[in-house]
Amino acid sequence: MSTAARTTWLRELIRKPFFWGVIAIFALLALNVIKDPNYLALSVNPVNGNLVGNVVDILRASAPILMIAVGMSLVIATGGIDLSVGSVMAVSGAVAMVFMKDAGQSGSVGVALGAIGLALLVSAILGAINGVLVAYIGLQPFISTLIMMLAGRGIAKVITEGQNTSATNDPFRWIANGFVIGLPVVFLFAIIIVIIVGLVVRRSALGLMIEAIGINPKASRMAGIKPTGLLLTVYILSAVLAGVAGIMSVGTVMTVDVSRTGYQMELDAILAVVIGGTSLAGGKFSIGGAVVGALLIATLDKTIVFLGISSSATPAFKAIVIVVLCLLQSDRVRGWFVQRRKPPMLRTPSLPAEPKKQEVSA
Amino acid sequence: MSVQRRFSKFLGLAAVGALTVGLAACSSGGDGGSESGGDSGELTTVGFVAVGPEGAWREANETNIQDTFTKDAGFDLKYAPATNLDQKSQIDAFTSFVDEGVDVILLSATEASGWEDSLERAQEAEIPVILLDRGIEPDDTSLYVTRIAPDNVEVAKEVGAWAVEQFPDGGNYITLEGPAGVGVVNERNEGWNESVEGSALVQVAAQTANWSAEEGKSVTETLLKANGNDVQLIFAQNDEMGLGAAQAVEEAGLEPGVDVKIATIDGTKAAMQALADGQLSYVHEYNPLFGDTALDVVNKTLDGESVDSYIIVPSEAFDSAEAAQAVLADRKY
Amino acid sequence: MTEPLPIVEMRDISIEFPGVKALDGVDFRLFQGEVHALMGENGAGKSTLIKALTGVYKIDGGSIIVAGQERQFHGTRDAQSAGVSTVYQEVNLVTNLSIGENVMLGHEIRGTFGVNWRATHAAATDALAKLGLEYLDTHKPLSTLSIAMQQLVAISRAMAVKAKVLILDEPTSSLDAAEVEGLFAVMRTLRDQGVAILFVSHFLDQIYAISDRLTILRNGRYEGEYLTRDLDRHALISKMIGKDLGALSSLGGNRRVEQRDYDAEAPLLAAKGLGRQGSIEPTDLDIHTGEVVGFAGLLGSGRTELARLLYGADRAGEGELTLHGKRVDLKNPADGLGKRIAFSTENRRDEGIVADLTVRENMILAIQAERGWARPIPRKEQDELVEKYITALNVRPADPNRLIKNLSGGNQQKVLLGRWLATKPELLILDEPTRGIDVGAKAEIQEAVAQLAEDGVSVVFISSELEEVVRLSERIVVLKDHQKIGEIVNGPGVTAQQIVDVIAAHGVAAAAESDIIDAEADVEPSNDPDTAHTPASAEEES
């Protein structure tokens, strides 16, 4: 019976769309450990008591990806896509940097908060423009956000007058580089925000409605759901999260590089969402999956550097990992896997337990 | 990335109210809006087939050219930046300059190959062509007057020489490269290797950080861990990556300039500031400001004088905080 | 009938889904040149058996023999190449493509340079001609056809591949009587050509009209195989539901007999000249509290279109609507919902269910939409509500966490009914609530409607089955050609035939006028009944 319970548990786990993402993270970590047995070692910096280690670096690097991946998963769930997140990151970073550069006062918390507030406000406006184009004007999300992707970089350049802009502000820098009780602030922030978004989405009916309009917009409309407000909310949320990601991103070096900050991050976000098991066709989404996807991408980026894979081979290596992962996630390939597990499954007494997601059709 | 360039150009043009002209420029590569035609009878017409928005260095370079070939100096400069760094748009612009019959063409090619036909047409029309910064492949010097550029190989060689001198007993170093496969990256690697080969310096890692400070920091952070902080030198192929690396070095509990020396190429103002602050140890300028040289060459060419087929723009090296301090005040870029 | 070897023989078929035995030792035989009806209630395993035959599901036990060979199909394509073609319960076509492309999809005729479209369309016309549809323009997009016509195109498509076995899963559920007759004619032709036809329908009349033999399933088990002529209706239904019919016969006693004084009470809802260009002519209509008003008319008569205006699914282009004596403008479904109006669509798959959500989520969707996303319904309240309607409407399986797409059509319909009842509507519009569902579920829904009216809810009841309309309604609004042509106050003497007569009589009158209409057609193309045939699709609110 215990083996039966275990196989059921295993099977449940394998059915989770992000199962292979978790496996991939562990596989990559294992690869690093093979290169350096001390890879996972954490030490405490004797001076400031902060945790030091490769894993800590991965968590820090994953923070901005986490932000945009969570936003992206909601947008994709509605059946849309947000290509502008990378550009919004650049705009947000540019606004914050220029604001702080002009304000001076490198130690002022007020200046930092002002910069953050202004950056998020501008991000929200850009998101609202996306939302209006999609929800009210009825443009295709791909086109609307593509426009914003192009426009965003332009806006960032206008804000910074085309220059890479640096500023000094210790509280702001602390967000990306600081530590609290030994843990990196930026990751704590990211996780808190993810949890808040997750709670809001799942505890309210927002998640249900997003899924409903993503799965069947016509039926949702007939059920009285007004998609416009929802879409606007989702695109604003995505942009604000991208704004947070931008702040985290420029905060690490206190420089905004208008052509590189957030560059191609929309692709990372989309990948993270897909790895997490949310279908690009919209509908069901998984914030947990997006978190796994974001962590995987950060791990992958760091592994490439750690293993010393040559720059020219980097894209290929990344592509291979992601292709393998997507293959493992495909229903067909997963079918093979489950098939092989099937004989022992059949021997287990069919439990009266609630049959959850089996495909039963009359 | 290329598209966003187009957009920023787009914005700029819109700002001067030359939207339609700008759109036409995208396809024909004609007058990009810097000049509004008019009677230029006594002026020397110069067609500038340019790269357009690419980064701080390029901006400094092209602004410098535009500031040099002014009407006051007797020139009518037609500025035609590439659309999306697209070579085709450059060739279109080049061709229309030839058809227009400008007096001289300045060319900063986005791609090295594929220029033979265009250059031959210019030669038939007896329009001299001067290459700025970027060279062409194959390098047929009979097709153009001269190439004016700082020399990447030479600059990197000097950085390498400095490194060898700094570490006579050897040491471990990391190279932070630009995107894989780009010509500049290859040239800077080539020059560096020329100097460093045979020395006691050991390259423990070479990794791209895509010219970006943020990536420079992230890559350095991991490479330091991968090597147990046993790194004495970082060669960053541009300033931004070096600036990012400096922060990673600090966060790893090491002191830039003492535990780890960082050398960069470009010489932007931010890098000079960092050098002055002791964050960086060595900055080699890659001089974008060669408008005067170009002006000189143009005048000489039009007067029928001959010039060398390759004019290297001198670039300065800065190896101390004091040297950086001295130029910081009037650094333009 | 002599019995040669069956073209399809399925022996002792078992299919298990974790926790559920969908099929348990089922036998099934299909002979060439017969129409074989597969009978059973929703959930009896009809669709599962068909999917086992067509290779959609893998069988866990038993064997499938096609044309003397043991076969195991992997997917419909496999089955198709062995001569087994299927038309599914819900139309499954690509509405963006042309009619011809849909008919020939995957079987386009190829020339030297890719698809030879001319030949492909010619072949499509041929295939359509077999169903008497040669008048269709194969180049027109499929979306210009009504659902009924799309169904026929789906059948043409199955026939285009020269099938030896044709599986028709509920092909008649969206056809009107004339269309059904046309289909039957084709089925007979095909049967005479030796095609074996497996036919599923919930209309007993149709089973007796067309089938030669039938196999009955109940709860995933084989109940028996009979010659149709040997089994009377009573016996058939009893075998399907596994109990005697007594309970069902008493239906119809629910119809109200007392007469209202319509002038004396103010109507709940009054429409004056309510219309929408190209979908329904200006219409006057009163609906009183606690009244069941039937909309009778053929498909495309405007009955759905009128109902959509009453809910706000489409916005009225002209006329006015008053509710409780107050003028209202319903711009979108949310407006209708807010005014305590509910509308259950005829197009269950596209406009009804949200397939990948659970029964619970589907049921609470409308009330949640009305509350807004920021005020979620507490889980406990949800569970109580869902539990209540699952029990009241006898939804099977009674599992609120099952995905709705895994329920049978009839049970999906009950869940949707639950969704609308949960909104506590004053006016409930039911468009074809009983289409494509079995006798038992149909009776349950009819009972629910009668009970609602008893409780003071006004109901608009739309059905192609006139008997059903007559049985349930107090008043019957008769529609034809996008306009209301009459209103019948129901009473003891009213029969379905009377309604048919009203429609037919109007037809004669209309035919007499048709010269005039034709003359006007050039001036006002939007009134062309052909183009207006499709229900105006939901226009997005701006």
The pLDDT of residue A222: 94
Residues in chain B closer than 8 A to A151 (CB atoms)? 7
Positive or negative torsion for Cα C101, C103, C109, C110:
positive
Q: How far is C314 from chain A (nearest CA, A)?
A: 10
Smallest Cβ distance to B214: which of A158, A249, A312? A249
Q: Which residue has the tokens 């007979």?
A: C188
Lowest mean pLDDT among A357-361, C69-73, C121-125: A357-361
Is C3 within the bounds of a domain? no
One-letter identity of residue C155:
I
Residue C344 has which token pair?
């259950």
Chains touching A (at least 3 CB pairs under 8 A) are B, C
Residue B34 has pLDDT above 50, yes or no: no
Distance CA C542, CA B301 (A): 65
Asked whether at least 3 C-beta pairs link C and B within 8 Å, the reply is no
**Within-domain flag for C262:** no
Whether C111 has a pLDDT exceeding 60, the answer reads yes
Query: In terms of Cα–Cα distance, which of C219, C168, C174, C175 is closest to C195?
Result: C168
pLDDT band at A272 (very low <50, low <70, confident <90, very high): very high
The string of pLDDT tens digits covering residues A183-242 is 899 999 999 999 999 999 999 999 999 999 999 999 999 999 999 999 999 999 999 999
Report pLDDT for B276.
92
Same domain, C379 and C505: yes
A/C Cβ contact: 3+ pairs below 8 Å: yes
A219 contact C CB<8A? yes
Q: The complex's ipTM?
A: 0.81
DSSP-based three-state secondary structure for C202: coil
Question: What was the pLDDT predicted at C446?
Answer: 85
Domain positions in chain B: 2-149+289-302, 152-286+318-328
- Residue A111's pLDDT band (cuts 50, 70, 90): very high
Averaged pLDDT, B155-170 = 92
Question: In this prediction, what percent of chain C has a pLDDT beyond 70?
Answer: 86
Given pLDDT bands bounded at 50, 70 and 90, which one contains residue C442? confident
Looking at chain C, which residue has its C-alpha nearest residue A137?
C542
Model confidence at C339, pLDDT cuts 50, 70, 90, reads very high
Q: What mean pLDDT do residues B170-193 have?
A: 88
pLDDT category, C383, cuts 50, 70, 90?
very high
C236 and C273 part of one domain: no
Looking at residues C380-387, what average pLDDT do you find?
A: 94
Which whole number is the average pLDDT over C399-414? 88
* C410/B158: higher pLDDT: B158
Domain contains C143: yes
How far apart are alpha carbons C472 and C449 in whole angstroms? 8
pLDDT number for residue C513: 42
Q: Which of A234-243, A253-262, B183-192, C134-143 comes out lowest in average pLDDT?
A: C134-143
Taking residues B86-91, report their average pLDDT: 86
Q: Which sequence spans correspond to the domains of chain A?
A: 2-347
Domain B152-286+318-328 has CATH 3.40.50.2300: yes
CB contact C19 to A (< 8 Å): yes
- Lowest-confidence region among A22-36, C81-95, C192-206, C322-336: C81-95
pLDDT bucket at A315, cuts 50 / 70 / 90: confident
Q: What pLDDT does residue A361 have?
A: 39
Q: How many CB atoms lie within 10 A of CB C61?
A: 13
CATH number of A2-347: 1.10.3470
Any B CB within 8 A of A299 CB? no
Fold of B2-149+289-302: Rossmann fold (3.40.50)
Provide long-range contacts, Cβ within 8 A and 24+ apart, for B130-136: B130/B104, B130/B105, B130/B106, B130/B294, B130/B297, B130/B298, B130/B301, B131/B107, B132/B61, B132/B65, B132/B106, B132/B107, B132/B108, B132/B290, B132/B294, B133/B61, B133/B108, B134/B51, B134/B108, B134/B109, B134/B110, B135/B109, B136/B109, B136/B112
Q: Could you give the number of structural domains in chain C? A: 2
Which 326-365 residues of chain C touch chain A by CB within 8 A?
332-334, 336-338, 343, 345, 350-357, 361, 365
Q: Is residue C68 part of a domain?
A: yes
Do you know the residue count of chain C?
542
Closest CA to A110 of A119, A100, A98, A123: A100
Same domain, C179 and C218: yes
Q: Do C363 and C223 have their domain in common?
A: no
Contact check, Cβ <8 Å, A219/C51: no
| Residues in C touching A224 (Cβ below 8 Å) | 333-334, 336-338, 365-366, 369-370
**Distance (Å) from the alpha carbon of A213 to chain C's nearest alpha carbon:** 9
Whether C368 and A208 lie within 8 Å, measured CB to CB: yes
What's the whole-number mean pLDDT along residues C251-260? 48
**H or E element at residue B322:** helix B321-328
- The mean per-residue pLDDT over the stretch B16-35 comes to 38
Band of pLDDT at residue B26, cut at 50, 70 and 90: very low
Give yes or no: residues C321 and C188 share one domain.
no
Inform me whether the C-beta atom of residue A230 falls under 8 Å from chain C C-beta atoms: yes
**In which band, very low, low, confident or very high, does the pLDDT at C536 lie, cut at 50, 70 and 90?**
very low
**DSSP code, position C376:** P
Give the per-residue pLDDT at B253: 87
**A362 in C contact zone (CB under 8 Å):** yes
- pLDDT attached to residue B84: 63
Q: Is the pLDDT of residue C91 over 70?
A: no
Q: Which two tokens stand for residue B175?
A: 């190279």
Q: What is the mean pLDDT of residues A337-349?
A: 44
pLDDT more than 90, % of chain C? 29
- pLDDT for the residue numbered C507: 52
Pick from A45, A54, A162: CB nearest B253: A45
Q: How far is A182 from chain B (nearest CA, A)?
A: 14
The pLDDT value given to residue A4: 59
Q: Report yes or no on C41 lying in a domain.
A: yes
Nearest to A154 among B7, B56, B217 (CB): B7
Is the minimum CB–CB distance between A225 and chain C shorter than 8 Å? Answer: yes
Mean pLDDT of chain C: 81
Task: Name which residue leads in pLDDT, B93 or C132.
Answer: B93
Evaluate if residue A353 carries a pLDDT over 50. no
Nearest to B133 by CA among B286, B27, B23: B286
H-assigned helices in C267-358: 303-311, 333-338
Lowest pLDDT segment from A167-176, A238-247, C49-58, C67-76: C67-76
CB B197, CB B163: distance < 8 Å: no
Tokens read off for B141: 């010097």
C529 has pLDDT over 50: no
Among residues C476, C453, C510, the alpha carbon closest in space to that of C285 is found at C476
What mean pLDDT comes out for the span B126-153? 88
Three-state secondary-structure class, residue C248: helix
Range of the domain at C293: 269-533
Residue B208 touches partner A, C-beta closer than 8 Å: yes
How far is C433 from C304, CA to CA, in rounded Å?
12
Q: A202 at the C interface (CB within 8 A)?
A: no
Residues C82 and C231 placed together within one structural domain of the fold = yes
Q: What confidence tier does A16 reach under pLDDT thresholds 50, 70, 90?
A: confident
Based on the domain organization, do C278 and C419 belong to the same domain? yes
What's the average model confidence in pLDDT over C277-302? Answer: 87
Q: Is residue C261 part of a domain?
A: no
C251 found inside a domain? no
> CA B199, B200, B204: angle at the middle one, nearest 5?
110
Q: Are residues C220 and C282 in the same domain?
A: no
Considering only CB atoms, which chain C residues are within 8 Å of A336?
none
Q: What is the mean pLDDT of residues C415-437?
A: 90
For chain C, say whether A358 makes contact (Cβ under 8 Å). yes
Any chain B CB within 8 A of the CB of A109? Answer: no
| Cβ-based contacts of A215 with chain C (< 8 Å) | 354-357
Please measure the distance between the N-terminal and C-terminal CA atoms of chain B and give it in whole angstroms. Answer: 22
Cα separation, B211 vs B203, whole angstroms: 19
The backbone torsions φ and ψ at residue A221, rounded to the nearest 5 degrees and listed phi first, read -65, -45
The domain that holds C89 is classified in CATH as 3.40.50.300
Chain B residue closest in CA terms to A39: B226
- Mutate which of C337, C373, C419 to test chain A, going by most A C-beta atoms within 10 A? C373
- In this structure, are C479 and C528 located in the same domain? yes
pLDDT, tens digit (0-9, with 9 covering 90-100), for B299-309: 999 888 888 88
Q: What average pLDDT does chain A have?
A: 86
Which chains are within 8 Å of C by 3+ CB pairs? A
What phi-psi label fits residue C279: left (phi over 0), alpha (psi between -120 and 50 degrees) or beta?
alpha
Residue C258: inside a domain, yes or no?
Answer: no
Closest C-chain CA to A215: C354
**Mean pLDDT value across residues C461-479:** 88
Residue C232: other Cβ atoms inside 10 A: 10
Identify the weakest region by mean pLDDT among A161-170, B267-276, C345-354, C523-532: C523-532
When pLDDT is cut at 50, 70 and 90, the band that residue C174 belongs to is: low
Does residue C147 share a domain with residue C282? Answer: no
Across the interface, of B7, B59, B181, the residue whose CB is closest to A150 is B7
- Across residues B19-44, what is the average pLDDT? 44
Q: Which of A80-84, A295-299, C241-245 has the lowest mean pLDDT?
A: C241-245
Of the two residues C432 and C89, the one the predictor is more confident about is C432
